């Protein structure tokens, strides 16, 4: 059985497996010599597909960071309406921005607010690639992201035939509960990964931080900090897993935002530069210069994610092997410190922790679930 996986998010890639054998994983940007190329509705041709001599696979599966969008358009004349801004701020303190509540707000202020929804972007890109380059319109696309990271890390670890704890953290993943909580992306996830099985979800936090940033931009004179530190959160339990919804960014997103603020990259893609700057800080929490601010964020991220690792260990007392994946697993300074923090556990970092690894994860998931 031949399965082709195509990642159409940033770090685009293709992966191919035959039965249980991994044939290859190819990063599209390396073929293009363009580190930041990402497929778009009008520019989606992959150079890696013809150069990899891809034969007609039995299955094609698409991985994506999930382009679905449930936005709110605000008439430009209302952006400085203090009364409305105060009302929205009070709402944010006590309510979660799920679909039901967004619709209520928009209906109440329908004279200058309306919903803008786009659910076709990923499908359009995937269809274009498959029809134009693979002569087929058949593909499957589940809106999973962290799950594919977990598959990839486990499969490439020395413990693929053992049970491990899989921890995934990045700048933001899929909107797994889009129907009820649109714009809430995966932030941190804990899985129990067993051989030849679908990773078992145990804990996940999703955040709509990007939506809050976009929405607050419509009211620039409002004190929107509350939206990002809101105490209002929602929790559900599904198949034994705890799933939380809030408005806090992930630590990975914090590094990206700081890189944009410091001018390292206008698109916020310089998180690695901020991690490097942290080594030059003076461990001063007053933030005298950019290096000190970067180091403060580095130290806070370590403390935050140590809590997640402790939670994962508590949920899996019989497992002493931990696999880290997702873009934030590129933080090698933190990774090294985990070894001394948890001496009774072994760690492995996914060698493709960025989104390029999700093409392989999608293949493996398809193989397991067929």
Percent with pLDDT over 90 in the chain: 73
Q: Helices in the chain by DSSP H: which ranges?
A: 28-32, 48-51, 82-94, 99-108, 121-134, 146-156, 209-216, 225-228, 251-261, 271-278, 290-315, 332-341, 358-369
| pTM of the entire predicted model | 0.94
Q: Give the Å distances, CA to CA, from 186 to 88, 175, 181, 231, 277.
A: 24, 7, 11, 18, 27
pLDDT band (50, 70, 90) for residue 317: very high
Mean pLDDT for the stretch of residues 131-158: 96
pLDDT at site 78 = 57
- Domain 1-66+120-157+354-370 part of CATH 3.40.50: no
pLDDT at site 214 = 80
**Tens of pLDDT along 41-57?**
989 999 999 988 888 89
pLDDT at site 176 = 95
The CATH topology of domain 161-349 is Nucleotidyltransferase; domain 5 (3.30.420)
* Chain-centroid distance, C-alpha 54: 28
Percent with pLDDT over 70 in the chain: 94
Q: Where in the chain is the domain with CATH 3.30.420.40?
A: 161-349
pLDDT at site 163 = 98
Residue 144 DSSP one-character state: -
pLDDT at site 224 = 58
Mean pLDDT for the stretch of residues 344-348: 98
Helices (H) then strands (E): counts for the chain = 13, 13
pLDDT at site 79 = 62
Within 8 A by CB and 6+ apart from 187, the residues are 169, 170, 172, 173, 204, 205, 206, 207, 248, 249, 250, 253
**Tens of pLDDT along 235-287?**
999 889 999 999 888 999 999 999 998 988 888 889 999 999 998 988 666 65
φ and ψ of 335, to 5 deg = -55, -40
pLDDT band (50, 70, 90) for residue 77: low
């Amino acid at each position: 059985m031949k399965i082709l996986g195509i990642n159409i998010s940033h770090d685009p890639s293709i992966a191919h497996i035959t039965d249980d054998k991994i044939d290859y994983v190819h990063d599209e940007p390396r073929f293009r010599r363009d580190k930041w190329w990402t497929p778009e509705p009008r520019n989606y041709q992959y150079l890696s597909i013809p150069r990899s001599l891809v034969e007609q696979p039995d299955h094609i599966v698409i991985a994506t960071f999930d382009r679905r969008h449930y936005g709110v358009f605000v008439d430009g004349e209302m952006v400085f309406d203090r009364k409305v801004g105060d009302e929205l701020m009070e709402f944010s303190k006590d309510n979660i921005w799920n679909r039901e509540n967004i619709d209520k707000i928009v209906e109440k202020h329908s004279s200058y607010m309306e919903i803008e929804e786009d659910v076709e972007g990923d499908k359009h890109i995937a269809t274009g690639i498959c029809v134009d380059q693979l002569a087929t319109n058949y593909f499957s696309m589940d809106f999973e992201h962290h799950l594919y990271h977990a598959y990839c890390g486990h499969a490439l670890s020395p413990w693929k035939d053992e049970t491990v704890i899989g921890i995934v953290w990045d700048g933001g993943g899929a909107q797994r509960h889009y129907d009820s909580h649109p714009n809430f992306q995966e932030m941190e996830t804990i899985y129990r990964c067993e051989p030849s099985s679908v990773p078992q979800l145990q804990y996940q936090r999703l955040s709509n931080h990007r939506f809050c940033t976009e929405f607050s931009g419509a009211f620039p004179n409002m004190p929107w900090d509350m939206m990002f530190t809101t105490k209002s959160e929602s929790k559900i339990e599904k198949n034994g897993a705890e799933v939380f919804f809030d408005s806090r960014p992930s630590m990975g997103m914090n590094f990206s935002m700081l890189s944009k603020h410091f001018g390292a990259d206008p698109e916020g893609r310089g998180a690695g530069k901020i991690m490097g700057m942290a080594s030059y800080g003076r461990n001063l929490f007053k933030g005298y210069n950019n290096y000190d601010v970067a180091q403060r964020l580095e130290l806070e991220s370590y403390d935050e994610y140590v809590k997640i690792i402790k939670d994962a260990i508590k949920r899996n007392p019989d497992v002493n092997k931990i696999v880290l994946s997702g873009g934030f697993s590129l933080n090698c300074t933190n990774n090294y410190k985990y070894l001394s923090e948890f001496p009774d556990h072994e760690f492995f970092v996914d060698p493709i922790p960025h989104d390029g690894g999700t093409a392989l994860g999608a293949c493996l998931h398809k193989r397991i679930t067929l």
